[in-house]
């Protein structure tokens, strides 16, 4: 089977099937063998692994994965790509192709049936990067790692720490579940068609247990969301204004002071650990 990572071969397949790109599905096909090799190295794929690939496109990365993994489960939403994939993946017996929307799939069951944590590897459709990644974490899918191509800006937000402009609710949510690491920056000319933004490959190594202990996970994430909803405000004002949180204003400042933080601090200055302690203090006061 032709190496689809070479632009000429991808174009040939697209022409053979008169394929029309669907913008709504975020279709930008990767055509750079060096980037594909870099992704394989970062994901550390071996024959022991069951890999979930989200959005195989015409099967370029799927072929790379199938050469290295024990099994590849590739989930594609676009029905027009299914006959193409059946062709490009015909020689690979360890690939299972599923025609479905990943957001509607029971990935947890897929992992449980395999009896081992999955590795997720993908060039993600950018319009649903966050729901896909947070869905995998929040539904507690058994995972070893997620190695994915995303918009560079999103990768930077995942990896950011306190006090930077990229730091926000996404950084904290991702870092609660996994250790993020940007492993490659990828320019638009590595794709057909070219996206309007730069891309990056980020590897998220799933923690066995979160790096901080919280008594009420939902409360922690509600506080984080409220803190960054009104980024320019102090943490006390942001939380005090978020009626749905149900935290009385008069409890917020004493909790901050107990932590040795100033009452006028903004959410963007707090580490994940500090958010966890703060959330635990407010939970104690509830009980
Ligand atoms: N993996 C291919 C590559 O690297 O060349 C294609 C990547 S392209 C950025 C994203 C792929 O995800 C497309 O094939 C698109 O049709 C598919 N896709 C978009 N939304 C999806 C969804 N909700 N569930 C499954 N696949 C989806």
Tens of pLDDT, residues 153-176: 999 999 999 999 999 999 999 999
Q: How far is the CA of 262 from the centre of ligand 1 (A)?
A: 46
Tell me what pLDDT residue 257 has. 95
> Contact 192/31 with Cβ under 8 angstroms?
yes
Residue 285: pLDDT band by 50, 70, 90 thresholds?
A: low
- Is residue 193 reached through a cis peptide bond, with omega within 30 degrees of 0 on the bond before it? yes
**Ligand 1, atom 18, residue with closest C-alpha:** 55
Tally Cβ neighbours within 10 Å of residue 164. Answer: 13
Residue 14: pLDDT band by 50, 70, 90 thresholds?
A: very high
Residue 84: pLDDT band by 50, 70, 90 thresholds?
A: very high
What is the model's pTM? 0.95
Residue 72: pLDDT band by 50, 70, 90 thresholds?
A: very high
| Mutation choice for ligand 1 from 25, 124, 127, 131, CB with most ligand atoms inside 8 A | 25
| Mutation choice for ligand 1 from 6, 17, 55, CB with most ligand atoms inside 8 A | 55
> Residue 74: is its pLDDT beyond 80?
yes
Mean pLDDT of 231-250: 84
Tell me what pLDDT residue 245 has. 80
Question: How far apart (Å, rounded) are the C-alpha atoms in residues 215 and 14?
Answer: 52
Q: What is the pLDDT of residues 89-110, one digit of tens each?
A: 999 999 999 999 999 999 999 9
- Is residue 151 reached through a cis peptide bond, with omega within 30 degrees of 0 on the bond before it? no
Q: How far is the CA of 58 from the centre of ligand 1 (A)?
A: 9
Question: How far apart (Å, rounded) are the C-alpha atoms in residues 89 and 84?
Answer: 8
Question: What mean pLDDT value characterizes the chain?
Answer: 95
Q: At what angle do helices 129-138 and 169-177 cross, to 10 degrees?
A: 40
Question: How far apart (Å, rounded) are the C-alpha atoms in residues 96 and 93?
Answer: 8
Pocket of ligand 1 (CB under 6 A): 25-30, 54-57, 60-61, 75-78, 81, 101-103, 123, 125, 128
DSSP 229-259: HTTTS-HHHHHHH-GGG---HHHHHHHHHHT
What percent of the residues of the chain are helix, what percent strand, and what percent coil, each to the nearest 5? 50, 20, 35
């Amino acid at each position: 089977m032709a190496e689809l990572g070479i632009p000429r071969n991808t174009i040939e397949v697209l022409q053979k099937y008169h394929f029309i790109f669907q913008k709504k599905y975020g279709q930008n096909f990767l055509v750079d063998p060096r980037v594909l090799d870099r992704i394989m190295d970062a994901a550390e794929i071996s024959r022991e692994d069951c890999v979930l690939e989200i959005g195989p496109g015409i099967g370029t990365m799927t072929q790379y994965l199938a050469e290295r993994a024990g099994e590849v489960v590739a989930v594609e939403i676009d029905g027009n790509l299914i006959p193409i994939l059946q062709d490009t993946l015909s020689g690979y017996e360890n690939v299972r192709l599923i025609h479905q929307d990943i957001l509607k799939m029971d990935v947890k069951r897929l992992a449980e049936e395999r009896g081992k944590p999955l590795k997720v590897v993908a060039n993600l459709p950018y319009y649903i990067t966050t729901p896909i990644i947070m869905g995998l974490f929040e539904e507690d899918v058994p995972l070893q790692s997620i190695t994915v191509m995303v918009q560079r800006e999103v990768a930077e937000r995942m990896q950011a720490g306190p006090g930077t402009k990229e730091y926000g609710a996404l950084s904290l949510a991702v870092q609660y579940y996994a250790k993020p690491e940007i492993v490659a920056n990828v320019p638009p000319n590595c794709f057909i068609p070219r996206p309007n933004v730069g891309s990056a490959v980020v590897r998220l190594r799933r923690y066995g247990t979160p790096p901080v202990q919280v008594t009420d996970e939902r409360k922690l994430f509600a506080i984080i969301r409220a803190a960054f909803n009104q980024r320019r405000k102090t943490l006390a004002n942001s939380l005090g204004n978020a009626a749905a949180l149900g935290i009385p204003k008069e409890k917020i400042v004493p909790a901050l002071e107990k932590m040795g933080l100033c009452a006028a601090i903004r959410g963007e200055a707090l580490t994940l650990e500090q958010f966890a302690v703060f959330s635990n203090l407010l939970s104690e006061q509830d009980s």
